């Protein structure tokens, strides 16, 4: 029966069953139903274990996203309230013009962004993309891949070797933020980068970056960098030069093409390899550029005109309190005269500085109105930016004596008044002439020409130190002055600029001046914001005293301690000066057209090797002033005597031999007789250079000088 039952079952047609118990068919026992159902339950258990973890991760991500969005919004609103969500204008620039209209210097941004991406060869911007942000064209301001890579590399190396900032983030930092390395600043940087990407195209961002990034050596923006390093525009950069500049921005001080060419070349090689790896250039182009590295073409020494440019820049806040536009500053600086002064100072210091132990110098040239035509503040601006012409206070020595003698003339003495040159004692002080020789009775004009110390001290004792100080201040000395007899020997410190300005009244008819260089300032659109005007100071030296001073200081150049300054054809006067122990040497000289002062010495106030005012300073003065007077009409120095003085001033051979305080010019220089050349008469061939020849030879050999 069991068999027939199985047979009957076999003969019966069955429908396919998807679920047991559905439709017809035989129900299975409970045991049969449990076994098939057990198989699918195992994966359900695994999913049931993983699901809480997944759900927690989703929840955490959701909360983190909300938190990040909130933080992003908070930073965004904070930056917006601070007014940072806008591209700041570049700092207004300043263009400084010489007196002929040529450009002396440009500072800051005068015409906005200097270059456009469209004007540059493709390899210029691509060099920066390759080394700084290879995914620049694809990210949205922040590069997560770059951040992860930087974290990985820095973790493996154990130190900070890579940064994850994109070009856009670097631009945000340059435009808006301080260089502080804080978490808050990095978050702000990221938010600002996203804002930049939202509002500007990639080329706009890249253009802003190239024009605002710092390249070292005072160059902000790729155009300035190209000019400073390669003397060309950014549009003319070669591949090697572009790679070098791209390599500079990471560390301008250590990869500077000027200060460390090897480091710059090594960095440029890395840039070129990155460009090849990124497909910006071919391997062959990279190899060719690596084999021919760029060479910076700037000079090793920055021009000394930067001294006067800095001086002008320091004065701008006095003329224009607050400016939002770029400015055009018109000045009195004469480019040819400025170059001549720079070359003369550098030449003489280089030629004689080591031998005579003198390392620095300064020079100021101005006209009768006080307009500064040239200024040199030191031997090398690159090595030292300290402007000795305007800031170095040094003892003027005997170059201060004209104020002593002017006070004496104003108290009734004349150039022909006689004083006795003899040993003198003031309390415990016993001033001496350099050679400890004394001439006995001597005229004031001779005493000044030979720079006799005893006579100067006697004059101060006669008129009083206060009278001398009053004269010096009236003529333009602004520094405090010592109120005792030592003022006679120039012991109070002054700057070359103020001492030179104080000599101007001797050349212009007796009128004090204020040294200046700025004549007018305009905005870029032509609006005048400052213009120099005013009638100047009243006359401070009477005609009789002025005549006497110019008669005496003319003798300094024609027959005294300043004969090295003489050149033919012009009426020249001046005064040499040397401070104690030969620490400072001066010559301040003038004609009816120009006044110039020269100082040399050492910054540490150490003694020179007997350098005197009649040596290097007088030589520099002549080298600058002689060519400056070419084309000018000779005129006599101003002043008119109340009583005619027909006898020309002179220094006898014996007086010079015994009392000269500084060495004279070489016999080859012919100062001549100015009035004979100007009005005719006399023999031009018989010049004053033939006087005192033996005394001059001895003076040059012995390096005579006033103490």
Strands annotated E in 42-113:
94-97, 103-107
CA-based nearest residue to 661, from 620, 699, 621 = 699
Give φ, ψ of 667 to 5 degrees.
Answer: -60, -15
CA-based nearest residue to 580, from 705, 415, 443 = 705
> For the sheet containing 103-107, what is the strand order?
103-107, 94-97, 327-331, 518-523, 528-531
The catalytically annotated residue of 109, 165, 217, 398 is 398
Instruction: Return the H-helix or E-strand segment holding 2.
Output: helix 2-11
Active site residue 189: no
CA distances from 566 to 43, 434, 504, 550, 618 (A): 111, 24, 18, 15, 9
Instruction: Return the H-helix or E-strand segment holding 507.
Output: helix 496-508
β-strand pairing of 327-331 with 94-97: parallel
Structural contact between residues 519 and 532, judged by C-beta atoms closer than 8 angstroms: yes
Neighbours of 561 (CB within 10 A): 36
CA-based nearest residue to 599, from 494, 685, 515, 686 = 494
CA-based nearest residue to 293, from 258, 265, 331, 272 = 265
Strand partners, 372: 366
Instruction: Return the H-helix or E-strand segment holding 9.
Output: helix 2-11
3-state secondary structure of 519: strand
The catalytically annotated residue of 114, 132, 445, 662 is 132
d(CA 56, CA 162): 34
280 DSSP assignment: S
* DSSP assignment string, 362-431: EEEEEETT-BEEEEE--S-TTT----HHHH--B--GGGGHHHHHHHHHHTT--TT-EEEE----BTTB--
325 DSSP assignment: S
- For residue 669, what are its two tokens? 């220089």
Active site residue 342: no
3-state secondary structure of 598: strand
Angle at the Cα of 379 (from 376 to 383), degrees rounded to 5? Answer: 115
- For residue 150, what are its two tokens? 């930087």
Q: Which residues are catalytic?
A: 132, 398
């Amino acid at each position: 029966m069991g068999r027939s039952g199985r047979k009957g079952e076999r003969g019966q047609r069955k429908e396919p069953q998807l679920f047991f118990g559905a439709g017809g068919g035989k129900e299975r026992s409970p045991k049969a139903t449990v076994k098939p159902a057990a198989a699918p339950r195992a994966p359900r258990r695994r999913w049931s274990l993983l699901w809480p973890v997944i759900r927690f991760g989703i929840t955490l991500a959701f909360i983190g996203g909300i938190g990040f969005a909130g933080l992003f919004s908070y930073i965004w609103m904070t930056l917006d309230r601070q007014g940072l969500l806008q591209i700041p204008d570049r700092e207004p620039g300043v263009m400084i013009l010489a007196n002929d209209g040529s450009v002396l210097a440009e500072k800051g941004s005068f015409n906005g962004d200097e270059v456009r991406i469209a004007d540059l060869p493709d390899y210029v911007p691509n060099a920066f993309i390759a080394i700084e942000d290879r995914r620049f064209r694809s990210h949205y301001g922040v590069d997560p891949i770059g951040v992860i890579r930087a974290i990985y590399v820095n973790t493996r190396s154990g130190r900070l070797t890579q940064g994850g900032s994109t070009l856009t983030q670097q631009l945000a930092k340059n435009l808006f933020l301080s260089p502080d390395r804080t978490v808050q600043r990095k978050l702000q940087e990221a938010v600002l980068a996203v804002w930049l990407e939202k509002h500007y195209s990639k080329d706009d961002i890249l253009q802003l970056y190239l024009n605002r990034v710092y390249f070292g050596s005072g160059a902000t923006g790729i155009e300035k960098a190209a000019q400073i390093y390669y003397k060309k525009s950014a549009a003319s950069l070669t591949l090697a030069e572009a790679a070098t500049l791209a390599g500079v921005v990471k560390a301008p001080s250590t990869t500077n093409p000027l200060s460390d060419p090897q480091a710059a070349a090594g960095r440029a090689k890395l840039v070129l390899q990155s460009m090849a790896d990124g497909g910006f250039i071919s391997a062959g182009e990279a190899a060719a550029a690596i084999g021919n590295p760029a060479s910076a073409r700037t000079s090793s020494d920055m021009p000394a005109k930067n001294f006067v440019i800095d001086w002008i820049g320091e004065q701008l806040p006095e003329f224009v309190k607050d400016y939002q536009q770029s400015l055009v500053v018109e000045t009195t600086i004469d480019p040819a005269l400025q170059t001549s002064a720079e070359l003369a100072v550098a030449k003489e210091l280089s030629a004689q500085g080591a031998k005579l132990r003198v390392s620095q110098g300064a020079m100021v040239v101005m006209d009768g109105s006080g307009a500064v035509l040239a200024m040199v503040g030191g031997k090398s601006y690159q090595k030292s930016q300290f402007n000795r012409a305007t800031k170095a206070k040094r003892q003027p020595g005997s170059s201060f004596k004209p104020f002593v003698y002017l006070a004496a003339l104003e108290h009734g003495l004349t150039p022909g008044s006689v004083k006795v040159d003899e040993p003198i004692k003031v309390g415990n002080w016993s001033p001496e002439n350099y050679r400890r020789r004394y001439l006995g009775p001597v005229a004031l004009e001779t005493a000044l020409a030979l720079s006799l110390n005893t006579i100067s001290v006697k004059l101060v004792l006669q008129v009083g130190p206060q009278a001398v100080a009053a004269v010096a201040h009236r003529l333009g000395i602004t520094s405090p002055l010592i109120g005792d007899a030592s003022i006679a020997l120039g012991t109070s410190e002054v700057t070359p600029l103020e001492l030179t300005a104080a000599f101007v009244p001797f050349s212009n008819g007796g009128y004090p001046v204020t040294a200046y260089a700025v004549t007018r300032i305009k905005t870029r659109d032509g609006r005048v914001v400052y213009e120099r005007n005013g009638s100047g100071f009243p006359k401070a030296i009477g005609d009789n005293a002025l005549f006497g001073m110019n008669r005496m200081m003319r003798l300094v150049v024609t027959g005294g301690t300043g004969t090295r300054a003489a050149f033919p054809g012009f009426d020249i006067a001046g005064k040499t000066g040397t401070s104690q122990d030969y620490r400072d040497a001066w010559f301040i000289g003038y004609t009816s057209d120009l006044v110039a002062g020269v100082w040399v010495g050492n910054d540490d106030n150490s003694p020179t090797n007997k350098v005197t005012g009649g040596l290097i300073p007088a030589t520099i003065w002549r080298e600058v002033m002689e060519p400056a007077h070419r084309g000018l009409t000779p005129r006599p120095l101003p002043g008119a005597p109340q009583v005619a003085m027909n006898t020309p001033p002179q220094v006898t051979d014996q007086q010079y031999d015994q009392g000269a305080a500084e060495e004279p010019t070489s016999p080859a220089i012919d100062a001549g007789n100015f009035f004979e050349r100007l009005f005719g008469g006399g023999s031009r061939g018989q010049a004053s250079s033939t006087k005192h020849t033996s005394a001059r030879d001895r003076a040059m050999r012995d390096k005579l000088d006033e103490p």
